[in-house]
Amino acid sequence: MPVRGTRYAHAVSFRDDFEGHDLDRSVWIPHYLPQWSSRAESAATYEVTGSELRLSIPSGQGLWCPAEHEGPLRVSGIQSGVFSGEVGSTVGQQPFRDGLRVREVQPARWGWTPHYGVLEIRARMELTARSMASAWLVGIEDEPRRSGEICVFEVFGDAIDRRGPAVGMGIHPFRDPRPARRLRHAAATGRRDRLSRLRHRLAPGLRGLLRRRRPRAHRGAGA
């Protein structure tokens, strides 16, 4: 199946239109970095309806990783792969500070974890000044050179004005020992009134119709 609007035709290896009544659990894990917290504390609040995945953060949702994270943070997120070392080890994906220790063991589980390709996302969001929404391609971190991150889009509620949202896009090397210039980034397109379609290609170049800026250094979607 060709991907329209790109220079080359690509076969679609994965597509999820969220047509059922729940997430495909063979692909998606409805938790955010549970190894540093727990499955209970990292569970997403979500609904699958009308061919949409709707993530939300209700006022009563508990804090994510309250004992370790600096500042209160609530998160609703999904990911497609997870693993960790034993409790007390430092082995795990995306530690948000040095010396972080595993609190709950996460057996290795890999849903959709592509190495490269073209990614298309349709997304829309309702944000307050205290919240953000984002999508990332992250390394699985089974070895240091696979720990970088490509930010597909990142929108903070306090960065929306009459001209529209400022959309962050870019690369975070994190613990990848290779120079950042060796990581090749792609493009995102969208409409000013809504994020209608985003394309991400692991190839040189960056273009966009929305205002662009570098992604912020800290991670997390909270309210």
Give the 3-state secondary structure of residue 119.
strand
Which residue would you say has higher pLDDT here, 145 or 87? 87
Tokens of 58: 């209700």
**Angstrom distance (rounded) from CA 76 to CA 199:** 23
Q: What would the mean pLDDT of 7-32 be, rounded to a whole number? A: 87
The tally of CA atoms less than 13 A away on the side-chain side of residue 96 is 19
Q: Give the whole-number percent of the chain exceeding pLDDT 70.
A: 75
Res. 145 pLDDT band, cuts 50 70 90: confident
pLDDT at residue 134 greater than cutoff 50 = yes
Q: What is the pLDDT of residue 221?
A: 41
Res. 10 pLDDT band, cuts 50 70 90: low
pLDDT at residue 178 greater than cutoff 90 = no
pLDDT at residue 69 greater than cutoff 80 = yes
Res. 36 pLDDT band, cuts 50 70 90: very high
For 77-119, write each residue's pLDDT tens digit. 999 999 999 999 999 999 998 899 999 999 999 999 988 778 8
Q: What is the pLDDT of residue 189?
A: 37
**Angstrom distance (rounded) from CA 121 to CA 167:** 14
pLDDT at residue 147 greater than cutoff 90 = no
This prediction's pTM: 0.76
Res. 180 pLDDT band, cuts 50 70 90: low
**Angstrom distance (rounded) from CA 163 to CA 28:** 35
